[in-house]
A and B are shown apart, each in its own frame.
Chain A
Amino acid sequence: MTAALDTSVASASLPMTKALNAGLRRAMLDDPKVLLMGEDIGPLGGVFRVTEGLIAEFGDKRVLDTPLAESGIIGTAIGLAMRGFRPVCEIQFDGFVFPGFDQITSQLARMRNRHEGGLIMPVVIRIPYGGHIGSIEHHQESPEAYFAHTPGLRVVSPSNPHDAYWMMQEAIASDDPVIFFEPKSRYWPKGEVRFDESGTPLHASRIVRAGTDVTVVGHGAMVSVLLQAAELATAEGISLEVIDLRSISPIDYRPILGSVQKTGRLVVTQEAPGFVSVGSEIAATVAERSFYTLEAPVLRVSGFDTPFPPAAVETHFLPSPDRVLEAVDRVLAY
């Protein structure tokens, strides 16, 4: 067991896995009704070690290693939430959430509505997601649109360790179910985590790099791709404004519309296939609300509308800084 992280200091440089761990620990210390459920999350600490040390500190009544059945994990979490607990479920990999999809969409998302407001469903479902890690089939998916399409759910994804620490605590404190997408490829790079304050509410999007020519929007691992693209664009004299979506449902449009007001050009990006996607929704909404400020069509840069390919060719599938810049060039050509 590793010693629990000291969060009494002002800040620390941490990888996202440790920031999530610290966020979970903080929430468990703050509320005895918070408990963790999932496969291999006990002594192993989860396959990504996000829950490392927590069973040793809180015991097996707070950290439940479950049978290997995702519908069982979600369905029993619903029962525990009915009983007054605040379960945080770990789905081991993005592609393994679908056996629990029915319980999430038909039961968890609707339970409060069916009870006419008579209960709350404070369940968090953590899903490591996305590509860039060279893994095998069903281990690199980006299924966030399925959940964003489901009324009753909230869907968020942090892009950096600081947000991960705070958004995890805010998601657990939410009285609504939250699908918490953790970008696997951002699990290990370190970033500064400030322990004094979050700075941004759970469902707020945020400008992470100011610019003037084109607005680029993304979430999770795409944010670091967008920041790389912005750096490369500078060399060509192009200024990108980068927005980290953070919340996929609901979407906070104010920073996006404000930015487009300034730039007149928008590129939305995601690892997920583009057809009927989060990016499609943003493009449609910006067209509806900001038509006269647009100087060019809103373009999407997405994964292709194919299954996630064999890892050997994933770099051709995943939106790269160059693919983002290709779209930037196109919106600037108008």
Chain B
Amino acid sequence: MISPTGVFEPNAAAEEFLPYLDRLTEADYRRFYRDMVVVRKFDTEAANLQRQGQLALWVPSHGQEAAQVGSAYATRPQDHVFPSYREHVVGMIRGLDVVDILRMLRGVTLGGWVPEEHGNFHLYTLVLASQTLHSTGYAMGMQLDGSTATGNAETDQAVIVYYGDGASSQGDANEALVFAASYQTPQVFFLQNNHWAISVPVARQSRTPLYLRAAGFGMPGTQIDGNDVLASFAVTAKSMDDARAGHGPSLIEALTYRVGAHTTADDPTKYRDPEELAYWVARDPIVRFRSYLKGLGVEQQFLDDVDDEAADFAAGARRRALEITGPEQSVIFDNVYAEPHPLVAEQKAWLERYEASFDEGKN
């Protein structure tokens, strides 16, 4: 819809989705821009924290902001979101405090938040594509308890699940598509094709554009320019509307690019062509949308204010990350089981006695 130079010039395939843009006001456009800029600054700061030994790992989202922001704004409060592990801004939009993400990557928790208290944004899942099946089961549950396809767009629920080009090769991703199609779940599979699964290019994952696979499973598939935030919003809005209305699951392939490394443990200079990187940097989702907003007459002051806000946000996240404490050692044992378990209880008591024995020695 928006060209790489920031001009609104939708192609023919975009036409059926254009009415969904009518839902947006200029305030929404500003919010989209603000969120993309803020998360990029935060992302850079988090990578710095890892370099300084304050996080065990960081998973950058640089370059994928438009795909994530547009799709996240297409969800409704009653929907459920199953992320992979790179969807930081989706969490922010759903109401998650990013420090909760940092807690997990700092190694003080295996999870970090209660999904139902944070916009139904479920936990990150680190085994590739496992969450696709959880999301499909969750969507089956929405059908079974009658929370979807009632005809009330304000309350009908649906699920969106994020995964990537690498995860698309996993058996679980394919089994989730089979189950989703079979039970006609209210669900959108949002596949961010960022072209690289650590060092493996998407050509190794698939000989066919990934959105074409949807047809083989018996559901609609749409490929979008994932660096166009309006395309991401409009196509996801239609797909989620269809899912809530009982029209079944669908797949969106968002073409984007992992500008940074896979994680802070990765070195993409060893396997990526700098020209390819330059090609995608020239299609940066934020630069593009900024040009578009300027074309709409958005004042420079707003853009400057957003930069300031992003810097404050990142600095605040850094400060709060350094204040993260805990956890108590009892976290090792406390939630392994819901009901009493003699072996775990015994080992918890033993560790307490063992560690207390050192204090006794001091006295």
Contacts and interface: CB of A to CB of B under 8 A. Distances in A.
Contacts of A67: 175, 178-179, 182
A77 B137 contact: yes
Contact of A69 (B178, B339, B343): B178
A116 B336 contact: no
Interface in B103-142: 109-111, 114-115, 122-123, 125, 127, 130, 132-142
A250 B133 contact: no
A84 B171 contact: no
Contacts of B308: none
B240 to A, nearest CB: 18
Contacts of B182: 66-67
Interface residues of B, number: 41
A152 B337 contact: yes
A82 B111 contact: no
Interface residues of A, number: 43
Interface in A35-77: 35, 61, 66-67, 69, 71-72, 74-77
Given A69-B178, A71-B171, A72-B175, A113 B336 contact: yes
B130 A107 contact: yes
A75 B335 contact: no
B188 to A, nearest CB: 15
A77 B144 CA distance: 13
A173 to B, nearest CB: 10
Given A79-B141, A115-B114, A116-B111, A106 B130 contact: yes
A65 to B, nearest CB: 10
Given A75-B136, A79-B139, A250-B341, A115 B175 contact: no
A27 to B, nearest CB: 17
B272 to A, nearest CB: 30
A78 B175 contact: no
Interface in A120-171: 120-121, 151-152, 154
Contacts of B123: 114-115
Nearest to A99: B171
B134 A79 contact: yes
B172 interface: yes
A35 B140 CA distance: 12
Interface in B212-254: none
Contacts of B109: 116
Nearest to B159: A79
B354 to A, nearest CB: 16
A154 to B, nearest CB: 8
A75 B172 contact: yes
Contact of A85 (B141, B331, B341): B141
B137 A79 contact: yes
B305 interface: no
A176 interface: yes
Interface string A155-197: 0000000000000000000111000000000000000000000
Contact of A75 (B110, B130, B342): B130
B336 A152 contact: yes
Contact of B127 (A83, A99, A102): A102
B150 to A, nearest CB: 16
Given A67-B175, A69-B175, A79 B136 contact: yes
Residue of B114, B133, B178, B342 most packed against chain A (CB within 10 A): B133
B134 A107 contact: yes
A78 B114 CA distance: 16
A311 interface: no
Nearest to A74: B133
Contacts of A121: 338
A323 interface: no
B338 A175 contact: yes
B175 A71 contact: yes
B323 interface: no
Contact of B114 (A76, A118, A152, A251): A118
B334 interface: yes
B26 interface: no
B46 interface: no
Given A77-B137, A79-B141, A112-B336, A72 B130 contact: no
A69 B336 contact: no
A80 B334 contact: no
A121 B137 CA distance: 13
Nearest to B341: A250
B24 to A, nearest CB: 31
Contacts of B171: 69, 71, 99
B141 A72 contact: no
B145 interface: yes
B179 A112 contact: no
A176 B127 CA distance: 22
B176 interface: yes
A252 B178 CA distance: 41
Contacts of A116: 109-111, 114, 331, 335
Contact of B137 (A75, A102, A117, A174): A75
A205 interface: no
A110 interface: yes
B110 A110 contact: yes
A218 B325 CA distance: 47
Interface of B: 109-111, 114-115, 122-123, 125, 127, 130, 132-142, 144-145, 171-172, 175-176, 178-179, 182, 331, 334-339, 341-344
Interface of A: 35, 61, 66-67, 69, 71-72, 74-85, 99, 102-103, 106-107, 110, 112-118, 120-121, 151-152, 154, 174-176, 250-252
Given A107-B134, A114-B111, 6 more contacts: A78-B133, A81-B137, A83-B138, A84-B145, A102-B172, A114-B110
30 contacts: A67-B178, A69-B179, A72-B133, A72-B176, A75-B134, A75-B175, A75-B176, A77-B137, A78-B134, A78-B137, A79-B138, A80-B137, A82-B122, A82-B134, A82-B138, A83-B137, A84-B145, A99-B171, A112-B335, A112-B337, A112-B338, A114-B123, A115-B335, A116-B111, A116-B335, A118-B111, A151-B336, A152-B337, A176-B337, A250-B341
A-B interface, 4 closest residue pairs, ranked by CB to CB distance from nearest: A79-B137, A75-B133, A83-B141, A76-B137
